Structure 1
Amino acid sequence: MIIIGEKINGSIPGVARAIEEKDAAYIEDLALKQVRAGAGYIDVCASVADEKEDEVLKWLIACVQKATRLPIAVDSPNVGAIINVLCFCEQPGLVNSVSMEREKADAVFPVIADTDWQCIALLCDDKGIPKTLEKRIAIFEDLMAKAAAYGIAPERLHIDPMVEMLCTSEDGVNMITEVMRCIKKQYPSIHITGAVSNISYNLPARSMVNRAFMVLCMNAGMDSAILDPLDQEMLGMIYATEALKGEDEYCMEYISAYRDGLFGVKK
């Protein structure tokens, strides 16, 4: 599982305060904690006014790169801001994100085409988030056509089928997991990702819902996720699910993670 650590986000009060006070030590510590927990990318999201976003993203990137060599996921709904700060990253990471909305893919794909940057692609367009499997797959096919036109291989893409609130869903997560299966069947080397915690908005005991959802998604093909790597129970669930799926030979990764204290549950 590719874990994209979500903790450095200006929408989180502690991070917002660190941004306001330019508390680099706080950001560096958050980055290091996520690295030690097994994150594969450190997501940085400014969540500030547009006129400040470039400056804040550059500062966050500098803080993270001082703390770790782990690649960065540059996160913004504004693809212009993403493009402006990619050059400040010391190594290729992950663009978060593009979609078929307002020609975002056409803006980002040519910039990363001849690089090793990977990219999250959302299954939405100018009409919003589709309500049916067929329409999400249609957007996926349009995205893949654009990626192919720019020479971007499927394995460089992390497809986000758009995780929505469970409490407003008519059929649970059946449609979204079927989207994942369809995508993986067409492109086995592509990555399936998503913001796991979106599923539990407005529900009590959100962590329980998030963990159950993670298991279902992994069984449907998800191999990349935007989540809190400091949630030890979630990490335990991920390692256990990989072992149960036959993706962890002799359960060695599960055992090693337990011994390293990545998930602290009772024997």
Structure 2
Amino acid sequence: QEYKAMVWLIEEIQKVTEKPICIDSPNARLLARIIEEGHLHRPGIVNSVNEEGDKCEMIFPLLAETQWEVIGLTCDDQGIPEDPEKKIAIARTIIQKSDFYGVARERLHIDPCVMALAAVPSAMKDFEKVICEIHDFAPEVKITGAISNISYDMPARKYVNICCMAYAIHEGLDSAIMDPLDGDLMSSIYACEALCMKDRGGRKYNKAYRRGKIGTNRREDWKMKI
């Protein structure tokens, strides 16, 4: 059922856009089958591999010498560790395997599996530590993350998410797994990238304002242009 649903959804999406598609499943065999059968018109992103079982060994050989990108989660057969040092160790192993199988580091996105602040008070500091250390030993590798995980079971979650995004961008976050139609979170990204000199002179920030994406000038119709 999952295979049929994924193939159908891929076909429907490709009818209306040429954007790369992220195929997402905990079932590595399913992801491998989708890639091997060539259902996608262009390379996208595989979400995901990790150190559970032989997922890296199954997926990485299929991506070598291609333009496919892949997300690597910092978890293993024991689950998601709270200890940031263990996450960093898992990330190192995934990166080493990507090197071995010929997957360019520039096409690897490590997801440090952000913990919930309500359960792990040091969640933000731990996230920052993992971002910094991975970029120290593998600057070509990109860091991503599901930002809203940190606000789980917290009131007024959007404020926690916005602050998490700001801190993470400052430390080197390259992308985020998030809702791009969340105007408040997108506004914080534009502002943070300008402040951190990722957007020199705030050109993208100003362009977003003029297009009505952020601030009091924000319009709802821009969402249809993504």
Q: Assess same fold via TM > 0.5.
A: yes
1:62 paired residue among 4, 7, 11: 11
Letter in 1 for 2:45: L
Q: 1-side partners of 2:128 and 2:190: how far apart?
A: 20
Q: Deviations over 1:98-148 (max 9, x none)?
A: 000011111100111121100000011001112222211111111111111
- 1:170 deviation in Å? 3.3
* 2:82–2:115 contact (8 Å) kept in structure 1: no
For 1:210, the equivalent position in structure 2 comes to: 161
Q: Deviations over 1:124-182 (max 9, x none)?
A: 10011122222111111111111111011211100001111110013241112101100
Structure 1 residue 136 corresponds to structure 2 residue 83: no
* 1:166–1:173 contact (8 Å) kept in structure 2: yes
For 2:29, the equivalent position in structure 1 comes to: 80
Q: 2-side partners of 1:186 and 1:238: how far apart?
A: 25
Give every structure 1 segment of 4 or more consecutive aligned residues whose post-TM-superposition deviation is greater than 6 Å: none
Distance 1:62 1:242, change over 3 A: same
Residues paired across the two proteins, number: 216
For 1:223, the equivalent position in structure 2 comes to: 174
* 1:232–1:264 contact (8 Å) kept in structure 2: no
For 2:128, the equivalent position in structure 1 comes to: 177
For 1:100, the equivalent position in structure 2 comes to: 51
Structure 1 residue 53 corresponds to structure 2 residue 2: yes
For 2:115, the equivalent position in structure 1 comes to: 164
Q: Deviations over 1:161-207 (max 9, x none)?
A: 11111100132411121011000111222110011111111111111
RMSD: 1.3
Q: Which runs of 5+ in 2 are unaligned?
A: 219-226
Letter in 2 for 1:154: R
SS in 1 for 2:197: coil
SS in 1 for 2:42: coil
Q: Deviations over 1:220-240 (max 9, x none)?
A: 111111100001111110000
* 2:123–2:150 contact (8 Å) kept in structure 1: no
Identity across aligned pairs (percent)?
Answer: 43
Question: TM-score, length-normalised on structure 2?
Answer: 0.92
